[in-house]
Amino acid sequence: MTDVGVGMLGYAFMGKAHVNAFKKLPYIVYPPPAVPRLVAIAGRDEEAVREAAQRYGFATYYTDWRRLIADPAVQLLDNGGSNDVHAAPCIAALEAGKHVLCEKPMARDATEAKQMLDAARRAGVKHMVAFNYRFVPAVRLAHDLVRAGHLGEIRHFRAAYLQDWITDPEFPRTWRLDRKAAGSGALGDLGSHIIDLARFIVGEPRAVAAMTKTFIAERPLPAGGGRAAVDVDDAFAAVIELDGGCIGTLEATRFALGRKNHQVLEVNGSKGSLSFDLERLNELNVYWHDADASGTRGWTEVLVTEPTHPFISNWWPPGHVIGWEHTFVHEIAHLLDAIVNDREVAPLGATFEDGYRNAVICDAIQESALEGRRVDIA
Ligand code: SOE
């Protein structure tokens, strides 16, 4: 069985989610496209990265990511670091001939994203951005239904991604709240996901008109010792036009009290509609305009756990639901298959091209909000 040596950058939330997937994959997606080998993990804090290596089972660790990329046993860089450490390590890894998986958002803005895309194109290796929600069975089913024309002409796409983890004004200004580290706030962190799903399910955004808001203008610094201004958005709302004349709305916030990871989307077409809620991720609600044989007409809640549904055959019998973590198993299996069998990551997985287009749209949303006007997207 082929194995693929993995070097991971970062070990926080996404590091844990990715390692969980690397370890489950070989016996869940069976036979696996390849067996991930946890070669090395890198992080700035030696004590923390040593513990992470031990906890997750990496053979070694580095405090300098350059040494991780120089390690000949590392064939795939998995970059789960903060957004400000996406570009340099990914470009260095690409130039060293390594495949790359980079967490979203790929970059802090379109300029930085383009540098990463150009390096990926030059390198001729496999590259993916971890837009993991493409790998929810219900979301892939929604994609398949729309792309097969079952909903007819698409009139609307509307999505919201609502969380509430920073409503406390004393929550510190962590990296996700710092423009230099993150590039933007809820827009790049949560908005990038629903922008990607708009592109994946319906098509390319062609124009946006948006607003952003920062509700808490100053917060304590994480390491204590004072306070600092918050220079990123806490929330955004946008009206969008997509390919084919579809219009819709996108909204993301970290201030929707009571909403924990509430990513919802709805697609309305000329022949039907569908809606999805990440907090009920095994279900897809569909509405077909042509009354069925019984003459009834209404919404149907589909439990997306049949063997014929996307990804489910890897797991359990019908009705034995899966969870948020399992999307990373599907996503990484897709990438490993592309690597060992020289298959394309696109269009079902997000590549650095998708990461770049996503950054262009995020920049357009910020430009529209700043200038108070509609912005067309090249
Ligand atoms: C933000 O809280 C966050 O962790 C995002 O960064 C992830 O991409 C999303 O999947 C869950 O929420």
The pLDDT tens digits for 245-301 are: 999 999 999 999 999 999 999 999 999 999 999 999 999 999 998 867 677 778 999
- The pTM of this model reads 0.98
Q: Ligand 1 centre and the CA of 295: distance in Å?
A: 42
Q: What is the pLDDT of residues 35-71, one digit of tens each?
A: 999 999 999 999 999 999 999 999 999 999 999 999 9
Domains, in order of start, for the chain: 3-132 (3.40.50.720), 136-371 (3.30.360.10)
The pLDDT score that the predictor gives to residue 296 is: 73
The Å distance, Cα 193 to ligand 1 centre, comes to 9
Question: Is the minimum distance from the CB of 196 to ligand 1 under 6 angstroms?
Answer: no
Please choose from 132, 261, 281, 331 the residue to mutate so as to test ligand 1's pocket, defined by most ligand atoms within 8 A of CB.
Answer: 261
Q: What is the pLDDT of residue 183?
A: 98
Question: How many CB atoms are closer than 10 A to CB 114?
Answer: 16
d(CA 365, ligand 1 centre) in Å: 20
Ligand 1 pocket member 189 (CB < 6 A): yes
Q: Identify whether 105 is preceded by a cis peptide bond (ω within 30 of 0).
A: yes
